[in-house]
């Protein structure tokens, strides 16, 4: 065989090899979505579990990030030797139903198998324990609580409540007074309603802002009406009320403590999580959700090299 023929055959074989490789990549390669240390999650892994997280494609990137952060916490939990014991898992599982059949019915509505539910419970339990361990030393001082109370007093205002009886009618009514309004028989065109110790916001949602304001401006025990609002007529009688007040600090101290503790724990945990991203060499590639296998292969090329030489 002459040199030219050998070169031709070599070129043909090279083209075949490149073509076969391209074909294999197009069918077999799965782009990387995120990396945590030596753990690599690819598009095929995500396809198996994404139904547990998302209901539409619009939130897929957000849910992918949530899953990756869960994995980051669970990975740290393994390092800390934190586990979910079988009894903890079973207790939560039984909240879905005492029997396997009951659980299967509940889980079918969630598009989840019992095994998937067990894994989800295990992950969330480990995550909870990790957070508790990491934030266990977070404290809230008396000074912080008092400052919060001083700067957020509006949050501790208890509004005025009133007991109101009112008539709502689509036509004027003759001779309405305090006695007759309570003895009227409701009809399709008229109703009599009594609301006990309700707030302005509650009544606003029921009868609209204008009538609600009349209800909360009206003097006690004095019939008001008819008041026309749109096509309807109203008569209002306020029977009782409690005054607006600001709750004293001792009354709300526990609530303030819980609020501040949760806020500080969340902030501390988020800072810890950001640090873990560096420690665990966390990388996420949400753009690969839409990548073809071929493009994903070349975009992942140096990532795969780095993973191989770790």
Residue 21 pLDDT exceeds 50: no
Across the range 35-56, mean pLDDT stands at: 88
Nearest to 40 by CA among 220, 307, 310, 236: 307
| Beta strand extents in 170-310 (DSSP E only) | 190-198, 224-229, 232-242, 245-246, 283-284
**Phi, psi torsion values for 226, nearest 5 degrees:** -75, 140
Tell me what pLDDT residue 53 has: 84
Chain length of the chain: 310
Which tokens in the block code for residue 163?
């007991």
pTM: 0.73
Q: Could you report the per-residue pLDDT of 103-160, keeping only the tens digit for each?
A: 889 888 888 899 999 999 999 999 999 999 999 999 999 999 999 999 999 999 999 9
Across the range 187-195, mean pLDDT stands at: 88
Q: Could you report the per-residue pLDDT of 218-230, keeping only the tens digit for each?
A: 999 999 989 999 9
Q: What percent of the chain has pLDDT over 70?
A: 89
Residue 177 pLDDT exceeds 90: no
Residue 17 pLDDT exceeds 50: no
What's the whole-number average pLDDT of the chain?
A: 87
Tell me what pLDDT residue 58 has: 64
191 close to 167: Cβ distance less than 8 angstroms: yes
Contacts of the segment 45-50: beta carbons below 8 A, 24+ positions apart: 46/289, 49/116
Q: What angle do CA 123, 125, 128 make, to 5 degrees?
A: 110
* Contacts for 23 with CB less than 8 Å, ≥ 6 apart: none
Among the listed ranges 26-30, 119-123, 152-156, 178-182, which one has the minimum average pLDDT value? 26-30
């Amino acid at each position: 065989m002459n040199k030219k023929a050998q070169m031709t055959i070599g070129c043909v074989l090279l083209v075949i090899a490149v073509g076969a490789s391209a074909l294999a990549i197009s069918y077999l390669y799965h782009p990387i979505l995120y990396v945590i240390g030596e753990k690599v999650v690819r598009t095929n892994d995500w396809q198996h579990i994404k139904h547990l997280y998302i209901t539409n494609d619009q939130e897929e990137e957000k849910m992918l990030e949530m899953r990756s952060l869960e994995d980051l916490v669970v990975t740290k939990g393994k390092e800390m030797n934190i586990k979910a014991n079988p009894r903890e898992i079973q207790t939560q599982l039984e909240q879905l139903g005492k029997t396997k059949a009951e659980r299967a019915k509940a889980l079918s509505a969630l598009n989840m198998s019992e095994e998937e539910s067990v894994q989800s419970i295990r992950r969330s339990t480990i995550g909870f324990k990790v957070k508790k361990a990491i934030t266990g030393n977070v404290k809230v001082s008396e000074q912080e609580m008092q400052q919060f109370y001083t700067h957020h007093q509006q949050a501790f205002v208890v509004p005025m409540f009133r007991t109101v009886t009112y008539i709502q009618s689509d036509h004027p009514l003759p001779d309405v007074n305090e006695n007759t309004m309570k003895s009227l028989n409701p009809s399709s065109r008229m109703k009599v309603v009594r609301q006990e110790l309700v707030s302005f916001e509650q009544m606003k949602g029921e009868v609209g802002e204008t009538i609600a304001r009349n209800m909360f401006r009206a003097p006690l025990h004095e019939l008001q009406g008819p008041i026309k609002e749109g096509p309807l007529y109203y008569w209002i009688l306020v029977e009782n009320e409690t005054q607006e007040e600001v709750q004293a600090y001792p009354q709300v101290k526990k609530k303030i403590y819980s609020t501040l503790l949760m806020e500080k724990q969340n902030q501390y945990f988020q800072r810890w999580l950001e640090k873990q991203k560096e420690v665990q060499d966390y990388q996420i590639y949400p753009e690969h959700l839409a990548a073809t296998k071929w493009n994903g292969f070349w975009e992942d090329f140096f990532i795969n090299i780095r993973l191989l030489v770790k």
